[in-house]
Amino acid sequence: MKKVGIIGGSGYTGGELIRLVLQHPALELEFVFSTTRVGEPITSAHPDLLGRTDLVFTGTVNPEIDVLFLCLGHGKSSGFLTTHAFSEQTLIIDLGNDFRLAEAASFKGRSFIYGLPELQKEKIEKATAIANPGCFATAIQLALLPLAQSKKYAETVHINATTGSTGAGVGLSPTSHFSWRNNNLSWYKPFTHQHLGEIYRTLKQLNAPAKLYFLPQRGDFTRGIFATAYTSFEGSLEEAYALYEDFYSSAAFTQVSREPLSLKTVVNTNNCFLHLHLHENTLLVTSCIDNLIKGASGQAIQNTNLMMGWEETLGLELKATVF
């Protein structure tokens, strides 16, 4: 059993990560670090874990931990690692955005590898530090990777993606409060969302330049991302499906569907489901993920499995609740 430490475990992402670690057959949760809830039971923040763990939040860390997950607010991971030293053997997975971009990928002698397994599984297997992708970035990149690698898309891609309220974090705000969110729909950060940076980084890595017009939306549901992207495509629908099915033929969690998708088929799983639709010469790609699992904590466990040399699906064979 490999011992796990989690830094910042009181939010939605941290709670899902705790749940996944507790059910993982090769991981043992040793501590969950918090600056605001020291001494409180983990179940005080995550009542769904009642009976699963007796651990309390702690204000100390074990520097010899086998795996360290950082679930801090964006921009706070580098500060934490500056003030807390860990063994060179400790694997580090950052679920924030500190190390996702090329200019921030190296820190204290470690190279943080961008942790999108469908893009660079081999690099992840050799890594000691991972920059876990953002949730929107995961859904959108998985929608575009086959087109980008084959250079079979136009230089302009239009993207619309709707996320659940958990994407805004556990803290209340005017746009995450039930009274505002319920029976409501709105867009935010049009064409400027922070996840665009890591998507452009991947496109540059694949030498596939593109202009992305991304409109994020807040949905009237708690979890999941339903994303659509469309661009010009020269070829038939069958050729498009062949391209996608070949690209993802060995992917553990990304599946290509011939039937139209609904969000509930992926919620509570580490899956990404993709569907293609061709109208004249415009290809529409639909991508669905759970923002807290494939878009965050599940992908972090997937990366851990790869780094450890374990089966990629270990501890992640989860079933959606469709009805």
Residue 11 has a pLDDT of 92
Residue 298 included in any domain: yes
Bridge partners of 278, per DSSP, are 283
pLDDT of residue 169: 82
Regarding whether 246 and 298 lie in a shared domain, the answer is no
* Residues 120, 158 within the same domain: no
Q: Are residues 160 and 298 in the same domain?
A: no
Domain extent at residue 111 = 2-132+294-308
Residue 153 pLDDT grade (very low, low, confident, very high; cuts 50, 70, 90): confident
Task: Determine, yes or no, domain membership for 81.
Answer: yes
- 154 pLDDT band, cuts 50/70/90, is confident
pLDDT at residue 104, as a whole number: 59
Same domain? 140 vs 107: no
Q: Is residue 318 part of a domain?
A: no
To the nearest whole number, what is the mean pLDDT of the chain? 95
Mean pLDDT value of segment 268-283: 97
Evaluate if residue 186 carries a pLDDT over 70: yes
Residue 39: CA atoms inside 13 Å, Cβ hemisphere, count?
0
Report pLDDT for 174: 80
CATH code of the domain covering residue 81: 3.40.50.720
The CATH number of whichever domain residue 235 belongs to comes to 3.30.360.10
The CA distance from 66 to 86, in Å, is 10
Residue 124 pLDDT > 80: yes
Mean pLDDT for 296-304 is 98
> Average pLDDT for residues 199-218, to the nearest whole number?
95
Tens of pLDDT, residue by residue over 159-181, are: 999 999 998 887 778 888 888 88
Strands (E) across the chain are located at 2-7, 27-33, 67-70, 91-94, 106-107, 110-114, 129-131, 156-163, 186-187, 211-218, 225-232, 254-257, 272-279, 282-289
In this structure, the answer to whether residues 201 and 276 fall within a common structural domain is: yes
**102 & 248 share domain:** no
| Percent with pLDDT over 70 in the chain | 99
299 and 132 Cβ atoms separated by less than 8 Å? yes
> Strand pairing partners for 35?
none
Query: In 34-103, where do the E strands start and end?
Result: 67-70, 91-94
Q: What is the pLDDT of residues 39-72, one digit of tens each?
A: 999 999 999 999 999 999 999 999 999 999 999 9
The pLDDT, as a whole number, for residue 170 is 78
DSSP state, residue 184 = -
pLDDT at residue number 152: 86
Would the pLDDT of 74 be above 70? yes
- In contact, 72 and 6? CB cutoff 8 Å: no
Q: For the residues 307-320, what does the mean pLDDT come to?
A: 97
Residue 315 lies in a domain: no
Residues 292, 16 contacting (CB under 8 angstroms)? yes
Catalytic one of 71, 135, 272, 288: 135
The yes-or-no answer on residue 135 being catalytic is yes
pLDDT (tens digit per residue) in 281-293: 999 999 999 999 9
Q: Is there a single domain that holds both residue 62 and residue 160?
A: no
Is the domain of 299 the same as that of 283? no
User: Considering only 95-99, 175-179, 180-184, 220-224, which range has the smallest mean pLDDT?
Assistant: 175-179
∠9-14-16 over CA atoms, to 5°?
A: 140
Separation CA 106–CA 98 (nearest Å): 10
The whole-angstrom separation of Cα 128 and Cα 80 is: 17
Residues 167, 44 share a domain:
no
Residue 285's pLDDT is: 98
7 with 73, same domain: the answer is: yes
Domain count, the chain: 2
Query: What's the pLDDT band for 103 if we cut at 50, 70, 90?
Result: low
Average pLDDT over residues 129-135: 97
Tokens of 11: 């939010």
Residues 162 and 253 in one domain: yes
What average pLDDT does the segment 205-224 reach? Answer: 95
Same domain, 206 and 217: yes
